[in-house]
Structure formats: C-alpha cells, structure tokens
Amino acid sequence: MISHKVLLTALLLGASAFQFAATVPDEGMFPLSDLNRAGLKKAGLKISEKDIYNPGSIGLVDALVRVGGCSGSFVSGKGLIITNHHCAFSAVQLASTPQHNYLENGFVAQQQEQEIEAKGLTIRITDSYEDVSKQVLEAVKNISDPLQRIEVINQKRSELAKQAEQADPTIKAEVSEMFIGKSYVLFKYKTIEDVRLVYVPRQNIGEFGFETDNWVWPRHTGDYSFLRAYVAKDGSAAPYSKDNVPYEPKKHLKVNPNGVEENDFVFILGYPGRTFRHRPAQYIEYQEKFLLPYTSDLYDFENQRMEAAGKRDKAVELALATRIKRNANVLKNYRGKLKGLRNTNLIQSKMDDDAALAKFIDSKPELKSAYGTLMNDIEQHYNMVFADAPKELWMNNVYHGVKTFDIVSYFQSFQDALAQQTSPKAQQALYDQNIANFSKRIPELFEAYHLGVDQQIAAHLFAEGAKMQGANSLKFLQNTALAKGDTTGAWIAQLLGSSKLNNEASFRQIIASPASILGYKDDVLTLHRDLAKEYAQFTAEQKRREGALNKLMGDYVAVREQFMDKNFVPDANSTLRLTFGNIKGYSPADATYMHPFTSVKGLLEKGNSGLPEFGYPHKIKEAWLAKDFGSYLKKDMNDVPVNILYNMDTTGGNSGSPIMNAHGELIGVNFDRAYDATINDFAWNESYSRSIGVDIRFVLWVADKIDNAHFILKEMGVQ
C-alpha cells in the first residue's frame, strides 16, 4: 500500500527537469514536478500538490529554509523560523558565558531589540534550478584519465556556479551531483546572513535525555528553537546590523495546535544530507569493516578527553560543548548503523543483487559489450580501497582530531605567501592587504581548542600511526616518531606543547609584522610541512580513485536501471526533498511494540530515575500535577504529547524539517531517527525505519506554561 511506502521528492523544481519513471519505489526521491505521480492524494493529502509546489506560484516550499546543515521553516510573516535546538546549539554556545549561560538556562527575547546574533548561522532559501548534466558530461566525454576526469567535472561545476552568480549577484549558486557520474543540477539560493536567536528552551528541555536518549525511542526531548531572519532595509542580504529589519518571506506555515493522531497522514519538506542507496556491495562492506568502527571509536576517545577537561573548568566545558555534541551524535549514529548492517545482513543482500546484475549483463550482448568488465572493475577498485583503508582513515581524521594542525596550517599559508614575495616592500604590501581578513578567523580557530586535549588526541593518533606498515606506513614519521618506538605519543604531545602557535595571545604576537611571521620557526611547523606534503600526495590519489569511481557508478546506475526496468530517483544530497507517510509505531524487537506518542508523564517518570541527564525544570512537574494543559491536551492520553513517531524517510539534514498534516499545517518538527533507522542512509525499510519529531503541542505548552514566551504564540497566530 502506497501509504506504507515513503516517497522522497527532490528538487524544488520545474516540470521541464528530471522526468523519472512513474513507478513508485519503496523509498526514493522524486522531483516536485512529479508530485502528481507520487500518489500523495491517494495516501491522504487533502490539499492540491500545487499547494506544495507550483512553478511560478507561491507554495509551501517557499516557507522552507536551510539553517546551516539543518532544515527549518518560516512560521510568521516577520521572518520567524522554527528549527531544532541542536541546530542552533553552536550559536547558543558562542553567545554563552559562565555568567550568561544560555545553553543551560535558555533564552527568551520578549522584544525584537533583545534578540541576539546567532553567530555562525546563515539561512539559505532555494530560489531556482537548472539541469546542467549535458554541459558537465560534455566536458569529459573524451577524457579517460580518472584524475583528469574528476578535476574537469569539478572545474565545470564551479564554472557554471560562478557564471550564475555573475549573472545574478543576489544569489549563491551550487551544482549538485544528483547521480554520481550521471546527472547534475545547478541550484540557485538566496542567502540571509543576519540570523538572530529569539527563543531557545533551557538545556534540560532542548536536550532532555542527552546522549542516553539520542537516537532512542521512546523520547521526551523538546528539540526546538526559534530564530529570526534579518535583511537590509532594501530587502537585500546584509551582515548583522542594528539597522537591519526582519525578512518578509513569500510564505510561512500555519501552525495547527491540535496536532495529529495515530495513523494520520503527514509529510515533511527539508534538506536531507546524504544517502548511499545506489552503491554496490563493496561500499557497504567498507562501511561495516572500516569506516564506521574506526570513526565511532576515535570520536568516543576524543569525547572522553574533552569531557574530562570540561569537568575541571566551566569555560572549557562551554568552549568544547559543540565539538563534543557533534562527535557524540556521529559515534552513536555509526554504532546504530553497525547494528543495523549486522542485523539486516545488508552486505549479503547487496552481493546477491550484484551477482544477479552481473548475470543480466552477460545475458545481453549489447550490455556485455558496453559493461562486460563493470562488476570486475568495481571489485578491483574496492580491493585498493580496502588495502589502503587504515592510512585513508588516519589521514581523514588527523586534522579533525588534532586542532593544532589546523592552526599551524593556517599560519603556514600566510608565511608561505609572504616568502614568495621578492622584496621586503612587496612582503609588507601583501601583509597590509591581507592581515585584517587573516586575523578575523583567529577566534574561530581557537574557540573550540584546548591544548591538553589536543596533546592527548595527537598522542593516540600518532601512536597508532607509527604502528602502520607497508603501503599504509606514514612516510613523514619514518625518521621521527618511528625511531622513538613506544614513546611516539609522548613525543608528539611534547612537540605540540613547545609551539608558540598553540596560544591565541602568542599567535597574535607572531603575526604582528611580516618579519616576525617569516622569522618564526618551530618543530611543529617542520613536522606539519612533512605531513602536509604526504597528505597532498594522499589526496591526489584519492581524487584519482574518485574519478574512476565517478565513471563506474554512472555506469552501475545506468545498467541497474535497465535491469530493474525503472529509473531511479537520486540519493539525498542536501537539496530540497519531500517525504510522506503516517504517524505510526513499530516493533523493534520480539514481543515489543513502540507506541507513536510520548507524554509529559513519561518525561517525569524518566526524571524519577535521579540520573542527571533526565533532570527537568520543576515548573513542568508543577504544571502537570495541576493538570494545567491548556488547549494542548491530547484527550485519549489525558496529557500533553511530547514526541511523535512516523514512518517517513529522513536522514541527517532533515533535522528541523517541518512535519505537516494533510492540510499542509505545521504539527511538529523532525529531529531524530530511532536507533534501528540509522541504517536509512544505506537502505530504507517500512518495518524498522522510524523518525522522531517534537509534537507542536509540547512546543506551545512549554512556551506558554513554562517559559512565558507568549509572544511566540501570538506571532504564530495561536493565541
């Protein structure tokens, strides 16, 4: 039944774009221009598909925004945006101090003048698109060298985006790869630079349950925040300024305070990040054997060190909060994926599919002529990937983990640029021209930096790196760390501590003049030059393989479409999509059933455990005991619903996506998946793929009864 199958719609796009086959898959992404073929009305949609998207007219898609790496939606005509608490987390962290801890205590701006700059956040609104597959693929039709192929593709994508921006300076352009090696779309975005915090619930609401409940159902988290978009008085995008005015969107969503019931039809619009469902068995095997366990274990190690440092100093705890949260989210997600891969035996299923595909190719002379070596070529490609996996993972994580190298790399780029000048006069001119912009990024480099943590992470990584041998050996360590044997960790920790670049104050002293920049030397700089050289060689090889894979995957998708007799829809790639389904529970294990609503009573019951992650504001208990539910009561529960569960197909980037009912009204905000659904990135299945949102009734109840944010309700037209 179609309502049990989640359909994704990509591309905020016109009818002339991708005309995929009308066959309805179990999951996938359809262009909005094909909504009339997706079965939305049969599934339960009460409005017209044109009310969602209609080229040349205003629709629900015009209320959608991308907030950093998340989604969000306008909920008033004055630029008010609702998204997730965790999507605004970094901006709240940057605005917080030990004296004004908005992370812990929340933030409510009763008047617009009290709203705080949301540093680091920008808003993107999809403006239009254009299919540019022909232009991109035409540029590489006669290129066989893999490295040259991927370089030309990326160059052409950049060139097309730049041309679009030159033609319309008010937009930002981006060419997105819809199918690897096969199709490309030029997206044009309006960007809003001035974003402000309006209402952020306190941490023990917005993060109730913390990591214990992350990716878990039942859930009781108020994962929501309100932001406001501002522009210059003429309506153009402008940096933060007191003179700016609230942005007036073309469309904003209507809030329905009555919520939904079990089995009700619902749909989501948003910007899902990445899925990898059109990849061969070897790709999944790489995930299970290498990437997922390595990354989750490393992030776990990093977080243990950062959390220990934060316990000794509140300022350090705040500085590292966003970094810890991001790591924790990824590591639990990756461990969920590992569980899902093992429980579903997805690798074997993919192997069986690929074996059937190989037989199909061999059975068709015209296919055998064109694709006869395809499956073997894919196998050989991944044999190389598997062989080099330890070095690849080390290289991909050394800059993520060791922040000192980010700082050193930034300094070296300026030092090298000055060294290339032929005279002191030319050096001074280059310095004067660039020092202001160079200095602007320094606070960002040091904001989540802690030398002691960095030394411990570096010691761990370098000790492991020194053990790698053969093709995976790190050549830049051969004459340094390897010669020191088991003391590699202590050696790198001491080295990082000896640099004067690891402190913002001394860093600024060193960049005070061209002469001091050029004259500065230390062992970390020397080590980093050797690391950077090997890293460059490594990335060149990765690009060569990426180019080879680009062609292989284009062919793989093309022949699979013939094999399955249908055109596929694209994997998620941070472009606008639609998914629909129903409010629905599930059975994740034998003899269990998970109901699709949680309640304030359940929140209080978790709080009775006494565990710190289940602490909550006392006003919640007071209001609940007094049965002060207002108009937000779910009658069959005799309680306020907190979170909801549904069988829509979501992934990272859908955080903050508006959940809408059959009439296109806002009834919740998506923020997570159930643990079993973390595997959605590789495969979707109605039996276990469930996503989690915060019920709009809980948002309104907390704003009304707990946080006294009545202005929010009035602005959204609820009161």
The mean per-residue pLDDT over the stretch 115-125 comes to 96
Return the pLDDT at 5: 30
Strands laid side by side in the 658-660 sheet: 29-31, 8-10, 577-582, 265-270, 658-660, 666-673, 691-695, 641-646, 597-599
pLDDT tens column, 187-206: 999 999 999 999 999 999 99
SS3 content of the chain, % helix, strand, coil (to 5): 50, 15, 35
Contact status, residue 313 vs residue 319, Cβ threshold 8 Å: no
| Adjacent-strand bridge partners of 125 | 190
Task: Take residue 688 and report the two structure tokens written for it.
Answer: 């276990």
Which 3 state secondary structure label does DSSP give 189?
strand
Report helix, strand or coil for 474: coil
Say if CB 201 and CB 85 are below 8 A apart: yes
Report the DSSP pairing between strands 70-74 and 194-200. unpaired
The predicted pLDDT at position 12 comes to 33
Q: What is the mean pLDDT of residues 141-148?
A: 89
> Percent of the chain, pLDDT > 90?
81
Environment class of residue 311 by beta-carbon count within 10 Å: exposed (0-12), middle (13-18) or buried (19+)?
A: exposed
pLDDT at position 180 is 86
Averaged pLDDT for residues 210-218: 94
Q: What pLDDT, on the 0 to 100 scale, is given for residue 719?
A: 79
Contacts of 661 (CB under 8 A, 6+ apart): 256, 260, 264, 265, 266, 667
Confidence of residue 27 (pLDDT cuts 50, 70, 90): low
Mean pLDDT (whole number) for 535-541: 92
User: What was the pLDDT predicted at 484?
Assistant: 62
**H runs (alpha helix) in 364-513:** 365-371, 374-387, 389-401, 403-419, 424-440, 442-447, 451-467, 488-498, 504-510
Helix (H) or strand (E) holding 175: strand 172-179
Residue 537, SS3? helix
Cα separation of 612 and 224, whole Å?
21
**How confident is the model at residue 222, as a pLDDT?**
98
Mean pLDDT of the chain: 91
pLDDT recorded at residue 344: 86
What is the C-alpha to C-alpha distance for residues 437 and 182, in angstroms, rounded to an integer? 39
For residue 482, the model assigns a pLDDT of 54
Q: At residue 10, does pLDDT exceed 60?
A: no
CB 196, CB 115: distance < 8 Å: yes
Which residue intervals of 83-174 are DSSP H helices?
Answer: 85-95, 102-105, 133-138, 146-167
**pLDDT at res. 182:** 86
- Is residue 536 packed enough to be buried (19+ CB in 10 Å), middle (13-18) or exposed (0-12)? exposed
Task: Kindly give, in sequence order, each residue whose CB lies less than 8 Å from that of residue 513, ignoring residues fewer than 6 positions away.
Answer: 431
346 contacts 284 by C-beta, under 8 angstroms: yes
Name the CA dihedral angle for 328, 180, 8, 19, rounded to a multiple of 10 degrees. Answer: 170
**Per-residue confidence (pLDDT) for residue 411, from 0 to 100:** 97
pLDDT of residue 31: 62
Q: Write out pLDDT tens, residues 56-80.
A: 889 999 999 999 999 999 999 999 9
Q: HSE (CB half, 13 Å, CA atoms) of 654?
A: 32
Stretch (H or E) spanning 70: strand 70-74
Higher pLDDT: 130 or 204? It is 204
Tally of residues, the chain: 719
CA distance 209 to 199: 20
- Contact between 260 and 693 under an 8 Å Cβ cutoff? The reply is no
Q: Output the pTM of the full model.
A: 0.86
Distance CA(21)–CA(43), nearest Å, equals 19
H/E segment holding residue 543: helix 523-564
Q: Give Cα separations from 528 to 109, 346, 404, 532, 547 (angstroms).
A: 46, 41, 10, 6, 28
Supply the pLDDT for residue 676.
87
Sequence letter at residue 63: A
Copy the structure tokens of residue 481.
């760390």
Residue range 450-501, pLDDT digits in tens: 999 999 999 999 999 998 989 899 999 876 655 566 688 999 999 999 999 9
User: Does residue 558 have a pLDDT over 50?
Assistant: yes
Minimum mean pLDDT range among 30-39, 139-148, 511-520, 644-653: 30-39
